[in-house]
Structure 1
């Protein structure tokens, strides 16, 4: 997949597809926004129309109630009944009752949504007319709004939504309008007029004009709810407006009612001092927009597929020479020079007059020169590696010889001829293996013989201060390893570990096979190393101070030059004290000649 992404042909196709998709999405987004704005404008016009109809019908109800109240004020029989209440012995009481009943029946027949009309005097029901589905109040003075009602000016209406036990749980059945009743002769307040409106009339208005799950609420200027299609969550609606009375008409908010999102708007009445708040489901507003979005999605899918297919087909035909040249380049194996053969098709491309032809001809020349340069680099690298190995090994021999000669001087001064003989014999064995006819790779058993000679010399040099043990797993004697691999590690174990202890030292060397690797373990029971130094050695960040650093760097560099990164050299603190060095190398790195 990564290789495909880096293909020029794939990138060109990807750019074409991106251009097409961005263009289509930009066009579709612009179209969608325009159509959505038009649909939203149409929806708002529908909401405004419903709001205006509701506002107009409520105003007509307001005018009907005012006309009813004026008629009752002007009716002498009703005024006389109210003023004489509760004196039922008045000589004209029965006649006035009959006359007022006939009058009220006629006027109420013209206002069918009025359920009942009550006139109170001294907190008692003096007169009652209509169907009386809404019963009279047992005590008008007990109403929370009584103080406000009692101070109303003439012909001022006070609207209050009321409920009765038989009302549905979500909607009040009646809307009550209170007015003060005045005597037509003295024009003084003689009682309180209560007019009960059945809300089904308003619900029928909304049913004819409202679609879906819309909600409408009517509030007075001081924030009193006088009518609502659904009083549930009315608190959530009102909280969206800081002050209903002073709010600006046209305020809009998004609220959640009954786990549904609603678009809430507020409008001021054109007739009276009240507000109409409507809540329209956001889903209803967005329904048509979703249809447009679905259409645009199908349009983008179909048109995009066709345009992309045509673009890819045309670009593929135009870029066919590039694709052919790419396949040729992929067929080349740069890891094997013997497979650097150019395919015959490239000669056809070299004759092309366009840029691909120029590139093909240049590429052939580069390949020819690259082959020559590669061969020269390989030869130079081999020569350089041999020189580096020889330099490192030459640094080991004088270093050890210098230390051994000092031991000879000491023994000669003490006239220890037997020890001088043993030391000379071990030194001869040591250098016999070190020279190895100039070979840089020797057998494991030869390397151990070399280490044994070295340890014998060092043990004599340090007056038998330590013992040592060499263990070789059976079958590994003939394995080939880098010459003088272990000697610097053993030297460091003696110089920096055992040399500084007062007890008898011990060095153990173990060689074993682990899977397909050869593992060398060098252990000493010396003073050990600090944890920080062990970490620096393992991370190859230790800065040499000239005392031991050379041998460690020598081993790591020689291993790296011969094994590249296919090795492990680790330093660890031994369990009982001291240091443990582990070298892990490939088992069959060198073939026997």
Structure 2
């Protein structure tokens, strides 16, 4: 479980790192809004369901109360007829001298829509009087009828029977109707003496049926039925199917329910049952509302709510996308501007429109970049000044060094009586310094640099007469290019002092200028004794001084440093040498076509 949670968290982090700020804002806003909507929707749906169930129960109970009121009124009217027949007719007449037929007929005629018959029986079950006039069937023994026995057992009470077919009396048309019998014990007066009897009032079952049928308990359907205290069905809209065992009803369980609303599961169907007791009878009026129809309504409501939620989610996602776009677009613009700045662009606009904080951030970054550019310009200017100072120092190191060596040669020649040669040497020295000065310019034509090398060789050949020969050559077009001045002379100086001093007429120095891969290369090669590769590799080290040799190698390192300071890392001096195989020194600089092309480090070509 922990691994699963860990993988889910890692996937979320990976998605979070890959997603844009607009996507994160949109998803976050939408998720929060949808969660709130779902929670609110479920709360309202549950509240609506509970409220609907409550209202349905209340509505059904109101309908049941109304039906109960009508049924109670109907039964009370029958009870009043029974009281009228007993107290106003039977108790006032002595059956020894008079009959009650006329009064019972009048009572029957006044209520014939509700009544089927009114009959009085003696204690032995003999017919005393009946309305309308009819003959008791010979096969019937009233004293053993359930209504008769109940009346005898409940002297002070009225007894209502369950619906049954009235077949006590002869009917020439054989029309026997369904009735509900109301029976009670009465006192009959006969010859001044009282004896027990039974008053039977048969009310038309159709009146009860009319009250109970076609009652709509709820919009989703429902029905009601009537049972006695034992759960026997008095009325049911599908009574015939129940009697035929084609349909079942939960009437026996309903008889145990107290008055009120109940939920039950019957034959796999959930339904709501409302129970009301009919006064004076012990009957119970049972209303049944199937909840399946309500669930269908809930399904429709749920689908509608789901549609509303989905539409709202779509609308919220669109709105959140637009809102997040208003926040993320300025941030993306700042990000693009920063990337342009990282790519080296100098003209970057950080002024963006959006929320106040983002605009303030853009102005702050713009101010920071402007300050940075000013600082960079100051640093570049300082570096250039530093480079110029360093170049001036290095250049000043060359002139005294070379002047010392040349004057040493002049002194030597003068001491040896070689006046003409010393005059020529001084003349070459003057021309040499004229080129060296170059009116203060650091970048001179390659032709002048090679001319400077030729005058220097003239001076040195006069000093080391017959010890070496020299040849200077250049490819077409190379002399018209430009280079740093005084880069060849220090190399020649090292070649003469360390390679030609002991050549004894067989020394040779070759200077050749050419183009290689777009760069200017001036190669100085000699056939001197050479040196080990380890020594050649260390000669350009600033802090290295060759032991036991004449000179400190300052000229070679000086040239290398000046080229690096002016043109950058790719350029400078390289040395190739082996013992007894001579030395080749290569000077690599950019091929400058104008004297102004080399004013910055690495800006040649």
Q: TM-score, normalised by structure 1?
A: 0.43
The higher radius of gyration belongs to 2
Q: TM-score, normalised by structure 2?
A: 0.42
